[in-house]
Every structure is written in C-alpha cells, then in structure tokens.
C-alpha cells in the first residue's frame, strides 16, 4: 500500500518533544526542550519503590487504581480545594494524566461534536478529539495584553459545544488561570450540557504568591467536569507515568469504561511506592516546597538572562518559561531552535510548533539542576551575542 494507508491522523508526524529530545541527544546538547526534570525524585519515594519491588508487588493494580493512593488523591483535593471526591467512584488512576485525558475525550466526544480549546494548547488534545470524530474549535488563550482571554472563550462556548478543555498552569505559555475565570465560565455554561476537562498537571506549581486554581474548587463547574493530575510533575518521576482524574461519579463511570479497555491498570509497584511515601512527613514537605523550588529556578534562569536581547514575561506557574527572540531572529523559530541545538548545544521547543504563522519564541523547561540552568544561561547568552554581532 502506498502513502498513509487507512490513517486516521494523516497530517500528524512525531511530536516536537520527541523530535527535539532526539536532536539534543544526537548533538550532546542541553535538553531544556521536552518537559522533564533532571532533578532526582525524593529518596524516600525511590526507597519505597524498591521495597515494593522487593516485597512482591508485581501483579495488576485494581482497574481504578490502588484504594490507598486514591484516598491520598481525594484527601489532597479536599485539603487544597475544599471538596471531597469519593475515592471509590470519583477518582481514577491511569498511565499518566495523558491516558486519562485521552480516555475522557474518547468517552464523551461523539462524531461531529465541537470541542473548544484555548490555543496554543498541549499537543495531546487535538489528535484525541480528531480520533473521536470531533471538531476542535481553537480560541486564543491570551488577549493582546497577554491576559487570559475570557471573552474569546465565552463567545466560542455556545450551547452546542460538547466539551471545553482548560489547562492551568498552562503548557506551553507558563501562564496561570486568573482568579474568577472559572466562575465566569461556570455562569456562562449554566443550563447547558457542556463538559469541562481541566488539565491541572502542574496544579500546585504557582509562582509569586498566586492562588492555585482548580476546577475542584469551583462549585459551578465541578458537576460538569473532570480534573487531571500527574505524579510525574509533582515528584520528578515523569517516566513513571502515573496520573489521576477526579470528577463526579456519573462522569467517572464513563471514563472508566474507556480506561478499562485502554490502560486498564498501571504500574502496581509504583502506585504502592506513591501510596507509602506521599502521606509521610517527607512527602508533605516535598509538596509544600515544590512551588518555591521551581520559582527559585525560574528566577535563576531569568536573572542570568537579564540585560540580554532575550525578552520574557516571567512564568506564572508550571516549569516552562517562554523567551521571546524577536530581537534576535525574524520569524521562523522552528528553524532556529533546531539550529541552536546543533551550533550552541541547547535544545528548546519552538513555539511555532503551536502557532501558525510562526512566532519568534521558544519554550524552556527550568525543572533542572542549578548547574544545568547555569550552563543553559551561558549558552543562551552566547546565542544573544552571536545574533547581535
């Protein structure tokens, strides 16, 4: 067969994250492209994982996830957001937040349905909606002054819309949902059947004293929505691929129908380790210090770049920083991000992967050891001086 036989996603290639990581590895470049920490996970967590493996936890975990880990997730939501989900029928553990976001989209989006997404968006949502036969309606995340654009979102949310997908703190822009935004959306959606998926994988990582915003805390959206979290982001274990979804029982039941035939059950010894470590003092301390740790890393990066031609608005949450290179290059950041990986030994994500037409901006992951950040600063300063000269 020629071409792309029977492809349901004929226009898709490999993700920009995979591409840039491969390029970084090929050229021995610092990889600030794909979003993963080079920081070790808490030692107590690793010890617990070894104990689980040595202790014989090798067989399937329950389909919805280990009950003790689900209990922790539900307590975590109650403590942070004041709402207690039932660990029995309102919480599901999957292979990263990705698998559950994907399952939720397959579970609820019917052929021909409209799904509203703020753009630029994490790259999973679009193909998942396409596979379900839905139509993606992209609205700009930010307005001209760089604020979250409520009007654009509300205008797109007509009663015919099946689903809205939100993400805060936001990947790739590093912005965070402003207070009151979810409540305004809730008021707008009243009387409709529109569902809301809230991708909160960077949830607690908010900077400069901002509040952590969650669908779980918004009474007007909670009944029509699922919120998604990821242990990978909270504990520097992205490779473990364990995440969760919480939401009302009726939505959770539908989500689990897909999850049980897709992932079914994931990482039993890793779930055991998480369930052991998270309730300990070390676990609580780790989570309590997470936002401050990442804010300090953001500041280290930005302090290092002060006075150069790289422009930026400091990230409000998460561990990505966008740098504007418009004083260095015109247009095609995709070409330059690849070029800088080869010539200056630093890999970034060109924001053009998310925008058409391309814009001269790159995304950096600052979830890195201070030494990595310092080396990155040096290379970025070289880029700036080479382009000025």
Q: Is 230 in the site for ligand PMP (CB under 6 A)?
A: yes
Residue 34 site contact among ligand PMP, ligand GLN, none (CB < 5 to 8 Å, cut-off depends on kind): ligand GLN
Phi and psi for 321 in degrees, rounded to 5? -120, 130
Q: Which of 87, 114, 171, 173 binds ligand GLN (CB under 6 A)?
A: 171
Q: Which of 201, 213, 329, 359 binds ligand PMP (CB under 6 A)?
A: 201
Q: Residue 54: count other Cβ atoms within 10 Å of its Cβ.
A: 9
Q: Across the strands, what pairs with 196?
A: 164, 225
Q: Which stretch binds ligand GLN (CB under 6 A): 14-22, 207-215, 269-277, 295-303?
A: 14-22
Q: Which residues lie closer than 8 Å to 21 by C-beta, 6 or more apart?
A: 31, 33, 34, 347
> Please, what is the minimum distance in Å from the beta carbon of residue 61 to ligand GLN?
23
In contact, 233 and 204? CB cutoff 8 Å: no
| Token couple for 10 | 């004929």
In the block, tokens 């995979």 appear at 18
Integer Rg of the chain from CA: 21
Q: Is 15 in the site for ligand GLN (CB under 6 A)?
A: yes
> Please, what is the minimum distance in Å from the beta carbon of residue 58 to ligand GLN?
27
> Please, what is the minimum distance in Å from the beta carbon of residue 93 to ligand PMP?
11
> Please, what is the minimum distance in Å from the beta carbon of residue 222 to ligand GLN?
25
Asked if omega into 24 is within 30° of 0 (cis), the reply is: no
Residue 207 site contact among ligand PMP, ligand GLN, none (CB < 5 to 8 Å, cut-off depends on kind): none
> Please, what is the minimum distance in Å from the beta carbon of residue 382 to ligand PMP?
28
Residue 267 site contact among ligand GLN, ligand PMP, none (CB < 5 to 8 Å, cut-off depends on kind): none
End-to-end CA distance of the chain: 51
Residue 134 site contact among ligand PMP, ligand GLN, none (CB < 5 to 8 Å, cut-off depends on kind): none
Residues 63-122 that bind ligand PMP (CB under 6 A): 96-98, 122
Starting at the earlier edge strand, list the strands of the sheet with 320-324: 320-324, 361-365, 349-350
The count of chain residues that interact with ligand PMP, using the rule CB under 6 A, is 14
Residue nearest to ligand GLN (CB): 35
Q: Which of 70, 163, 199, 258 binds ligand PMP (CB under 6 A)?
A: 199
Q: Which residues lie closer than 8 Å to 131 by C-beta, 6 or more apart?
A: 8, 9, 106
Phi and psi for 38 in degrees, rounded to 5? -100, 15
Residues 242-261 that bind ligand GLN (CB under 6 A): none
Q: Is 35 in the site for ligand GLN (CB under 6 A)?
A: yes
Distance CA 230, CA 227 (A): 11
Per-residue contact string for residues 235-264; x = within reach of ligand PMP by CB under 6 A: ---x--x-x---------------------
The residue (of 320 and 336) whose beta carbon lies closer to ligand PMP is 320
Number of residues assigned to the chain? 389
| Token couple for 21 | 């990581």
> Please, what is the minimum distance in Å from the beta carbon of residue 233 to ligand GLN?
9
> Please, what is the minimum distance in Å from the beta carbon of residue 15 to ligand GLN?
5
Per-residue contact string for residues 160-179; x = within reach of ligand PMP by CB under 6 A: -------x---x--------
Residue 167 site contact among ligand GLN, ligand PMP, none (CB < 5 to 8 Å, cut-off depends on kind): ligand PMP
Residues making contact with ligand GLN (CB under 6 A): 15, 17-18, 34-35, 171
Residues making contact with ligand PMP (CB under 6 A): 35, 96-98, 122, 167, 171, 199, 201, 230, 232, 238, 241, 243
């Amino acid at each position: 067969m020629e071409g792309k036989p029977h492809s349901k996603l004929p226009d898709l290639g490999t993700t920009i994250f995979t591409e840039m990581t491969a390029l970084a590895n090929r050229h021995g470049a610092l990889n600030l492209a794909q979003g993963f920490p080079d920081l070790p996970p808490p030692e107590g967590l690793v010890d617990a994982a070894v104990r689980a493996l040595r202790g014989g936890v090798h067989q399937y975990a329950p389909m919805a996830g280990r009950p003790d880990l689900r209990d922790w997730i539900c307590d975590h939501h109650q403590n942070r957001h004041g709402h207690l989900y039932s660990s029995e029928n309102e919480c599901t553990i999957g292979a990263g937040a990705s698998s559950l976001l994907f399952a939720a989209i397959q579970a609820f989006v019917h052929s021909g349905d409209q799904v509203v997404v703020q753009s630029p968006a994490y790259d999973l949502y679009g193909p998942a909606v396409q596979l379900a036969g839905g139509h993606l309606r992209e609205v700009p995340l930010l307005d001209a002054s760089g604020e979250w654009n409520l009007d654009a979102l509300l205008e797109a949310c007509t009663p015919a819309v099946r689903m809205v997908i939100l993400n805060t703190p936001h990947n790739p822009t590093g912005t965070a949902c402003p207070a009151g935004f979810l409540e305004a959306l809730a008021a707008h959606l009243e009387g409709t059947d529109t569902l809301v998926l809230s991708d909160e994988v960077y949830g607690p990582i908010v900077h400069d004293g901002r509040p952590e915003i969650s669908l779980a805390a918004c009474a007007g959206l909670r009944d029509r929505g699922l919120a998604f979290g990821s242990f990978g982001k909270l504990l520097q274990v992205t490779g473990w691929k364990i995440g969760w979804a919480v939401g009302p029982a009726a939505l959770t039941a539908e989500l689990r129908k897909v999850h049980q035939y897709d992932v079914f059950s994931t990482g039993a010894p890793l779930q055991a380790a998480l369930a052991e470590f998270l309730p300990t003092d070390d676990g609580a301390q780790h989570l309590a210090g997470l936002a401050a740790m990442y804010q300090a890393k953001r500041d280290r990066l930005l302090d290092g770049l002060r006075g150069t031609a790289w422009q930026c608005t400091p990230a409000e949450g998460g561990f990505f920083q966008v740098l504007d290179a418009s004083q260095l290059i015109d247009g095609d950041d995709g070409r330059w991000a690849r070029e800088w990986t080869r010539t200056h030994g630093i890999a970034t994500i060109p924001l053009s992967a998310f925008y058409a037409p391309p814009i001269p901006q790159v995304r950096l992951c600052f979830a890195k050891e201070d030494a990595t950040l310092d080396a990155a600063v040096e290379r970025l300063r070289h880029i700036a001086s080479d382009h000025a000269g």
